[in-house]
Copies of this chain bind each other. A is one copy, B any other.
Amino acid sequence: MMTEPNSEQLSTDPAQILREAGLRATQQRTSVLTILAASTDHPTVDDVYDKARQLDDSVSIATIYRTMLLLETAGLIRKLTFDDAPARYEMTPNRDHDHLIDIDTGELIEIPGREISELRARIVNDLGYDVVSQHTILRGRRKH
């Protein structure tokens, strides 16, 4: 019992997370996952690429793109697409949250919790913003 590192078996080691997802734990993938786990902002592919090159200056942008798609498909990371700006990524959040974009600065602000619209509007207000527009994207699957 005491030899178990953790009763819930939750891996924090990127390489192990990859293997548990049935993926090969390459150095590049491990780097990407480490970078994303350490990011509090929502980095773009280019941001991740730059940081990955600081760890290993031979990584290619193609691998970053392939890795982002792989991790997204595996459900380990989440892709955020806002208008035409390059996609941003975050580790898959435990609890769902919304995003507020500052239309003047482009700043991306997380809004915790799954609130109803009215409450959400109040929260945004408390953050010091006026809501210019809001739009919910639902993804569904037709019931069979």
Residues of A within 8 A of B (CB): 79-84, 87, 96, 98-105, 111, 114-118, 120, 124, 127-143
Contact = CB atoms under 8 A, between A and B. Distances in A.
Given A99-B136, A124-B138, A130-B140, 13 more contacts: A81-B83, A96-B134, A98-B136, A101-B139, A102-B140, A102-B142, A116-B118, A117-B117, A130-B143, A131-B138, A134-B136, A134-B139, A136-B137
B139 A133 contact: yes
How many identical chains are in the complex?
2
Contact of A129 (B98, B135, B143): B143
Contacts of A83: 79, 81, 87
A127 B138 CA distance: 13
A5 B102 CA distance: 41
Contacts of A79: 83
Contact of A117 (B87, B102, B114, B143): B114
